[in-house]
Structure formats: C-alpha cells, structure tokens
C-alpha cells in the first residue's frame, strides 16, 4: 500500500498487534498512536471510548494513512460503527477476526472470552460468534487486573497465577475448548493463562487474527519501505521502556501528540 497503515490503541498494548503486522506485512509503513494520556479505556463509559477512539482515528487520518487498524479491543467492541461511519478509509478491528477464528476452532461449541469490563459488557464477542456459529455457547469474563500485571511485567509471579486462577474459574467450570484473548495485553500473559486452563484449551489471540485478516485484505497492495512512526499522548519514555517488551524489539523515536483538537504534535520527543 502506498500510504501507511494507521494503528491506534488506548496505550502501548496495541504494539502486540503491530508486532504481528510487522511479521506478516514487513513492507508496510505504520503510523502508531497510543492514547497514553487517557488509558485505560476498558474502565470508561461507551460514550467516552467512542469519543476518544474517533479522535485517535482523526489523528491518524491527518497523517495520511490509507487504512486504520483498531488495535484496542475496547475501541473495537464499543466504537467500531462510529469509526466506520466517519472514516473514509478501510477500518479493521480485532473483534471480528478473533471471533471468526474462535468459531472455526471450537469442537465442543463452548467458547470463552476474556477482556476489559467494557469489552465484555458490550456483548460484542457473543454476537459476532453467533453470526458464524449460532449454536456456540459463549462465556465472557472481565479480567481488569491483567492489564496492570502485564504492564508491570508480572508475567509469571505467584500472585499473577493466583489472580488468573480466580478470574478463569468460571471458564474452567464452563468446560470451554477455545479461549479468546480479547484484550491487547493478554497475549503477554498467555503462559499463565495456558497453565491455568490446561493444554486442551486453544488460545486465540485477537490481535494476531486481526493482523492475518489485514494481510488477507491488503496483500495485493503490498510492497514498500516499512518502518514505524510512533506517537503517544503522554509519557513517551515509559512507552518506549514497557513497549519494548510488548513489541519484542527496541522502540525508535516516540513523539508526543494530542489526539483531541487536531493532534498537532507539540514537538516534545523522546
Ligand atoms: N487496549 C485495551 C484493550 O485491548 C486494554 C487497556 C485499556 O483498558 O485501555 O481493551
């Protein structure tokens, strides 16, 4: 694609999606916006999430992107219709591809989904799964503490295992065979989640599913220089430090920009 792909998230979690995009579409240029001044979205009202998401999307459009990837599960769950209505370029979300992969992967028809409170409350995953597999039974559980645990790098501490056991108990009781990681941060905790759920449960990474779907759609347009431009609305140093773990490689220069009011970068860089 001649124009860059825009990716936005409430913060640094969306880098887990960028990581897969880079692997699958190495030639594409990417502009990333992380709304680190207003993270988390998962505890906010749908109205606030829609507003923040539209502002993040406009910021990317102002930078000339040719497609927008909504890496944030909460934004995908709550704001997708509003984004598609307003955005003149294709908008890709993480929920649809994740739901599709889960609906295809299940044998028993019992699927679990974990995400932020806003994502689970939206009911979007059961709806999207039902479109593809109407007989599937979906159990959703919010796991809000997973976000700070992942950002702290507490990926396999005893406390993390304990919290995971408690959160995931209803899913064990429901005897699911597929579990959707419906939040940007949860792939970082896949080891603990697998430990608690057992090998019989297939984990579906919604970000990876999204990246595969984007490649499917954009494959014919492929071929460019690659490279990523990073923008955040606050705390660029922390973004670089923690983001490195999520991204699996060093983060380059990070510029500070505000999404609201046009998003003109004030010029501070890290
Ligand atoms: N990026 C969010 C998501 O995937 C998690 C962090 C937040 O609550 O903003 O739902």
Strand 254-256 and strand 228-232: pairing?
A: parallel
Q: Which of 36, 37, 74, 232 to mutate to test the pocket of ligand 1 (most atoms within 8 A of CB)?
A: 74
- Best residue among 16, 18, 41 to mutate for probing ligand 1's pocket (most ligand atoms within 8 Å of CB) is 41
For ligand 1, atom 1, which residue shows the shortest CA distance?
72
What pLDDT score does 100 carry?
Answer: 97
Ligand 1 atom at shortest distance from the alpha carbon of 13: 1
Q: pLDDT tens track of the chain, all 270 residues?
A: 579 999 999 999 999 999 999 999 988 999 999 999 999 999 999 999 999 999 999 999 999 999 999 999 999 999 999 999 999 999 999 999 999 999 999 999 999 999 999 999 999 999 999 999 999 999 999 999 999 999 999 999 999 999 999 999 999 999 999 999 999 999 999 999 999 999 999 999 999 999 999 999 986 554 566 899 999 999 999 999 999 999 989 999 999 998 876 544 444 455
CA distance 24 to 26: 6
**pLDDT recorded at residue 226:** 81
- C-alpha 109 chain-centroid distance: 24
The predicted structure's pLDDT at residue 23: 92
In the numeric block, the tokens 């000339």 are attached to 64
C-alpha distances in angstroms, 147 versus 13, 73, 130?
A: 9, 12, 27
Q: Where are the domains of the chain?
A: 5-93+209-256, 95-206
Q: Which class is 5-93+209-256 in CATH?
A: alpha beta
Helical segments of the chain, H only: 15-24, 46-62, 73-86, 95-105, 117-122, 124-132, 146-152, 158-173, 190-197, 206-218, 236-247
Give CA separation, 262 vs 57, 89, 110, 235, in Å: 11, 18, 44, 19
What is the best residue among 17, 18, 72 to mutate for testing ligand 1's pocket, by most ligand atoms within 8 Å of CB? Answer: 72
Please identify which of the residues 72, 87, 143, 210 carries the catalytic annotation. 72
Q: Report how far ligand 1's centroid is from the alpha carbon of 121 (Å).
A: 14
Q: Which atom of ligand 1 is nearest to the CA of 41?
A: 9
State in Å: Cα 183 to ligand 1 middle. 6
Say which DSSP state 187 is in: G
| pLDDT score for 263 | 47
**pLDDT, position 73:** 98
Closest CA to 115 of 153, 67, 73, 54: 73
CATH number of 95-206: 3.40.50.1860
CA-to-CA distance for 91 and 145, rounded, in angstroms? 29
Task: Reply yes or no on whether 210 is catalytic.
Answer: no
Residue that has been written with the tokens 């380059």 in this structure = 252
What pLDDT does 264 receive? 46
Distance from C-alpha of 267 to C-alpha of 249, rounded to nearest angstrom: 25
Residue among 57, 87, 183, 210 flagged as catalytic = 183
**Helices then strands (H, E): number in the chain?**
11, 10
Nearest CA to ligand 1 atom 2: 72
């Amino acid at each position: 694609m001649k124009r860059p792909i825009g990716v936005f998230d409430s913060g640094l979690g969306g880098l887990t999606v960028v990581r897969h995009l880079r692997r699958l579409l190495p030639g594409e240029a990417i502009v990333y916006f992380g709304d680190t001044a207003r993270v988390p979205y998962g505890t906010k009202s749908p109205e606030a999430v829609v507003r923040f998401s539209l502002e993040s999307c406009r910021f990317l459009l102002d930078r000339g992107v040719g497609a927008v990837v909504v890496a944030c599960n909460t934004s995908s769950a709550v704001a997708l219709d509003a984004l598609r209505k307003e955005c003149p370029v294709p908008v890709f979300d993480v929920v649809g591809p994740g739901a599709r992969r889960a609906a295809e992967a299940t044998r028993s028809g019992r699927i679990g989904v974990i995400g932020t409170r806003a994502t689970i409350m939206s009911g979007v995953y059961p709806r999207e799964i039902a479109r593809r597999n109407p007989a599937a039974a979906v159990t959703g559980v919010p796991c809000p503490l997973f976000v700070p645990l992942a950002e702290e790098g507490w990926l396999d501490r005893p406390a993390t295992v304990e919290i995971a056991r408690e959160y995931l108990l209803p899913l064990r009781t429901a005897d699911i065979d597929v579990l959707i990681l419906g939040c940007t941060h949860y792939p970082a905790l896949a080891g603990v989640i697998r430990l608690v759920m057992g090998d019989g449960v297939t984990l579906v990474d919604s970000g990876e599913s999204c990246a595969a779907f984007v490649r499917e759609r954009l494959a014919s347009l492929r071929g460019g220089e690659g490279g990523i431009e990073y923008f955040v609305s606050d705390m660029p140093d922390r973004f670089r430090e923690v983001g490195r773990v999520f991204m699996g490689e060093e983060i380059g220069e990070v510029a500070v920009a505000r999404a609201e009011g046009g998003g003109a970068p004030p010029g501070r860089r890290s």
